[in-house]
Amino acid sequence: MALSFLRPFAAAPAVALALMFGASAQARPLTANDLVGLDRVSDAHVSPDGRRVVYDLATLDTAANKRTHVIWAVDTEGKYSPVRLAAGSSPRWSPDRGAIYYLAPAGDHQQVWRLFVCVLGALCRSEPHPVQITDLPLDVDTFRIAPNGKTLVVSMAVFPDADDPAATKARQDEQAKSKASGKLYDKLFIRHWDTWADGTKNHLFALTLDGVGRASGAPVPLTKGFDGDVPSKPFGGDEDYTIRPDGKDVVFSARLAGRTEPWSTNFDLYTVPLDGSKPPEDLTRANKAWDAAAVASPDGKFAAYRAMKRPTFEADRFGIILHDAATGQEREIDPKWDRSADKMAFSGDGKSLYVSATDQGFQKLFIMDVATGAVRPLTTTGHVSDFDVAHTARDDVIVYTADAMNAPSEVFALTPGHSPVQLTHVDAAALKDVQFSAYEPFTFPGWNGDTVHGWVVKPYGYLAGKTYPVVYMIHGGPQGSWEDSWSTRWSPQVWAGWGYAVVMVDFHGSTGYGQAFTDAISGHWGDRPLEDLQKGWAAALDKYKFIDPSRACAAGASYGGFMTYWIAGVWNKPWKCLVDHDGVFDNRMMGYETEELWFSEWENGHTTVWEDPAKYETFNPINHVADWSKPILVVHSGKDFRIPLDQGIAAFTAAQRKGIPSEFLTFPDENHWVLKPANSLQWHETIKAWLDKWTAPDGAAAQ
């Protein structure tokens, strides 16, 4: 078992947590203040010799209302206490394992820095101060170091036709002098996720490192004139490109923008020489769907990448393609494995791949045989969010971050065939008095008789024989999942700490149950998943007698917000109140307003609104407002360009005009998610007050 402290109801979570945090006589529930204030571990990377790990630790700065990032290190055997190295993020080891490179501010821009590290019993620093490696006129967003340690590849946002970063900076400075604020566009995207387009693209540049390891000479443009982003926007990172083991070429994944970018998912793999002597060459032109994240075997003889098969569908299954560098021949390694591959890395001998994937409510780490495609899990529970591998003379050392519904992310080390070692306990002190609510999975027959999975979380302070109010949480995506994972936004542990039972169902459309299960929601937003939710609700009430159906509220975000608006009109009888966060209220206008049009078009029958308007009206919540009757809290933020603000305003207007008790919470500075610490606290406080108003968790008569 990967995370030995994870247990369902019968495992007595308080005892399990005592092993992790220490027992406490003053037990208390997890609070929103805890959730916002906890340190957050991410981006762990193991040194090439497998002995050390560096990771990013984000800590709340209450006064600044943001998180600060500091790089820490720890040994992979867990013998020594972690050591603070430097303020910064994105730590990466040098090929000779003697130093780390990372990102940190330098004047007005983010640059690459270096810090030497050593092992003398415990971790230490052999160089008194970090050294700035790059001095560029723009922010360095991501970087990679060539295997020989002589070249640095960085990404920066530049004008695609600019000769160098300085030309972009000069043009931006000139634009800033203008007193006119208008922006003229002649193609989409005009905005994406939470940012208006400014004409720049993420591009790659190569920098030579001199004898003392600092960048020298002019940056070499590797993607000059390329009409696309590397890394991709809005969430791409250095996983979108890699340097071949021989250090001669960069392979990257990107989508050509042109005029089709908002309705295309055609990412291809490209190769470009590290000296910039040739333009990028498209390696996967034949596949019109998504190709992503190439990784090379240690000897450079093979590469593996992830590929979808269906164009314009972002939730298609990622299969794993093996490419023979000598012959150019390719084959799918895992055609019979009905899971979608996420991150990948080769084993030291090149005979296996380590792969992460969602599997029935858990995000697991697997090992896959390259020759046969045979797969077995290395972890069984919880949520593996990221991993890195070092190839040593004895074995591979895998370092990963993992979390669970009752445990925030920590760093672990694992050698195949051995038990994992937990290396960090960053939140142990803050959580020493917290008693997490017990939870367990349940199943029931849903639409088409298929087995559907869900979770039930007991309210904090649960007592047998007592009944409790309940929140029915509906996940977004819709191709998502309620995993056994830690959430910093929709944490069922916080809601359980308020005194509520929590029910969550992975309806048809959810990931981790096979591609056919995921596909079942497309074109069926309002019927198949609704049937699952209805049958799941009945199954939960039948099995868990502590749930009080007369004090139940439903809550959802994104697609879950769509479903909340949908059930407000077609299935409102069970609910005392509703909470809708950034939901789709008018499906027809969503087809015009959203920025990533491929999503709306695929989900509504592979068509546009004007070509087949009936498909957008089949499951349109706005058509059922006449049947709304239950109190509703609407939350929608001003920088949400995925499901724009007007959707939430329209829904609140409808509720107000009908005389339905309703409130509207908006954050002008947030996107599809609420991320700023103070805003997150306000979000939680507002939702708790709304739930309490209509369900009275203390047992008093509800309004």
pLDDT digit string, tens, across residues 611-650: 999 999 999 999 999 999 999 999 999 999 999 999 999 9
Residue 13 pLDDT more than 80?
no
Residue 471 pLDDT more than 80?
yes
What sign has the CA pseudo-torsion 40, 107, 111, 198? positive
Res 128: pLDDT: 66
Q: How many residues does the chain have?
A: 703
Cβ neighbours of 12 (radius 10 Å):
11
Res 302: pLDDT: 96
Query: How far, in Å, are 203, 553, 623, 652, 693 from residue 658 at the CA level?
Result: 51, 20, 14, 10, 20
Q: Which helix (H) or strand (E) segment is 690 a member of? A: helix 677-695
Query: How far, in Å, are 208, 222, 273, 691 from residue 213 at the CA level?
Result: 9, 21, 21, 57
pLDDT confidence band for 182 (50 / 70 / 90): very high
Res 98: pLDDT: 86
Specify whether the CB–CB gap between 445 and 477 falls below 8 A. Answer: no
* C-alpha span between 403 and 410 (Å, rounded): 7
Q: Is 173 helix (H, G, I), strand (E, B) or coil?
A: helix
Res 2: pLDDT: 34
| Type of residue numbered 86 | A
Catalytic residue, candidates 323, 640, 662, 692:
640
* C-alpha span between 514 and 347 (Å, rounded): 26
Mean pLDDT of the residues in the chain:
93
Cis peptide before 159 (omega within 30 of 0): no
Quick check: is 558 catalytic?
A: yes
Quick check: is 129 catalytic?
A: no
pLDDT confidence band for 163 (50 / 70 / 90): confident
Q: Is 593 helix (H, G, I), strand (E, B) or coil?
A: helix
The per-residue pLDDT for range 500-559, each reduced to its tens digit, is: 999 999 999 999 999 999 999 999 999 999 999 999 999 999 999 999 999 999 999 999
Residue 411 pLDDT more than 70?
yes
**What residues pair up with 46 in beta bridges, in sequence order?**
53
Task: Give percent above pLDDT 90 in the chain.
Answer: 91
* C-alpha span between 101 and 94 (Å, rounded): 7
The per-residue pLDDT for range 435-444, each reduced to its tens digit, is: 999 999 999 9
Cα dihedral angle (410, 416, 417, 421), rounded to 10 degrees?
-20
Pairing of strands 291-296, 501-506: unpaired
Q: Where are the domains of the chain?
A: 133-173+187-285, 441-695
Residue 485 pLDDT more than 60?
yes
Greater model confidence, 564 or 700? 564
Catalytic residue, candidates 69, 323, 524, 672:
672
pLDDT confidence band for 127 (50 / 70 / 90): low
Specify whether the CB–CB gap between 440 and 522 falls below 8 A. Answer: no
pTM above 0.85, yes or no: yes
Domain 441-695 has CATH 3.40.50.1820: yes
The per-residue pLDDT for range 90-112, each reduced to its tens digit, is: 999 999 878 999 999 999 999 99
Written as one string, the DSSP assignment of 51-97 is SEEEEEEEEEETTTTEEEEEEEEEETT--S--EEEEE-EEEEE-TTS
Specify whether the CB–CB gap between 312 and 602 falls below 8 A. Answer: yes
Which residue intervals of 295-364 are DSSP H helices? none
* C-alpha span between 619 and 572 (Å, rounded): 16
Structure tokens at 654: 């409808």
Tokens 């250095």, residue located: 238
* C-alpha span between 605 and 264 (Å, rounded): 15
Q: What is the CA radius of gyration of the chain?
A: 26
Greater model confidence, 238 or 703? 238
Pairing of strands 451-457, 501-506: antiparallel
Structure tokens at 540: 């939960």
Strand order, beta sheet including 151-158? 142-145, 151-158, 201-209, 215-221
Which of these, 417, 389, 433, lies nearest to 44 by C-alpha position?
389
* C-alpha span between 357 and 334 (Å, rounded): 13
Res 698: pLDDT: 59
Mean pLDDT of the region 110-121: 80
Res 697: pLDDT: 61
Tokens 């049947």, residue located: 627
End-to-end CA distance of the chain: 46
Specify whether the CB–CB gap between 306 and 320 falls below 8 A. Answer: yes
The per-residue pLDDT for range 555-588, each reduced to its tens digit, is: 999 999 999 999 999 999 999 999 999 999 999 9
Which of these, 266, 167, 184, lies nearest to 225 by C-alpha position?
167
Greater model confidence, 1 or 633? 633
* C-alpha span between 585 and 646 (Å, rounded): 9
Res 3: pLDDT: 30
pLDDT confidence band for 11 (50 / 70 / 90): very low
Instruction: List, in order, residues 6 or more apart from 243 with CB less than 8 Å away.
Output: 144, 145, 146, 147, 151, 153, 249, 250, 274
Alpha carbons within 13 angstroms on the beta-carbon side of residue 491 total 28
Catalytic residue, candidates 510, 558, 637, 662:
558
Res 696: pLDDT: 77
Residue 236 pLDDT more than 60?
yes
Mean pLDDT of the region 130-145: 97
Query: How far, in Å, are 4, 361, 530, 624, 641 from residue 384 at the CA level?
Result: 14, 12, 29, 40, 29
Cis peptide before 279 (omega within 30 of 0): no
Cβ neighbours of 196 (radius 10 Å):
12
Res 124: pLDDT: 52
Q: Is 412 helix (H, G, I), strand (E, B) or coil?
A: strand
pLDDT confidence band for 212 (50 / 70 / 90): confident
Structure tokens at 75: 């040994």
Q: Which helix (H) or strand (E) segment is 587 a member of? A: helix 587-593
Least confident of 8-17, 314-323, 400-409, 692-701: 8-17
Which of these, 297, 416, 282, lies nearest to 346 by C-alpha position?
297
Strand order, beta sheet including 291-296? 291-296, 302-307, 319-324, 330-332
Res 635: pLDDT: 98
The per-residue pLDDT for range 649-693, each reduced to its tens digit, is: 999 999 999 999 999 999 999 999 999 999 999 999 999 999 999
Residue 479 pLDDT more than 60?
yes
Structure tokens at 563: 């479903």
* C-alpha span between 680 and 432 (Å, rounded): 23
Residue 294 pLDDT more than 50?
yes
Structure tokens at 147: 């295997």
Quick check: is 672 catalytic?
A: yes
Res 4: pLDDT: 26
Structure tokens at 671: 């996107």
Query: How far, in Å, are 201, 474, 662 from residue 635 at the CA level?
Result: 32, 15, 11
The per-residue pLDDT for range 48-97, each reduced to its tens digit, is: 999 999 999 999 999 999 999 999 999 999 999 999 999 999 999 999 87
Query: How far, in Å, are 344, 358, 450, 565 from residue 446 at the CA level?
Result: 33, 20, 5, 21
Residue 244 pLDDT more than 70?
yes
Mean pLDDT of the region 458-467: 97
Which of these, 660, 667, 666, 664, lies nearest to 652 by C-alpha position?
664
* C-alpha span between 365 and 153 (Å, rounded): 29
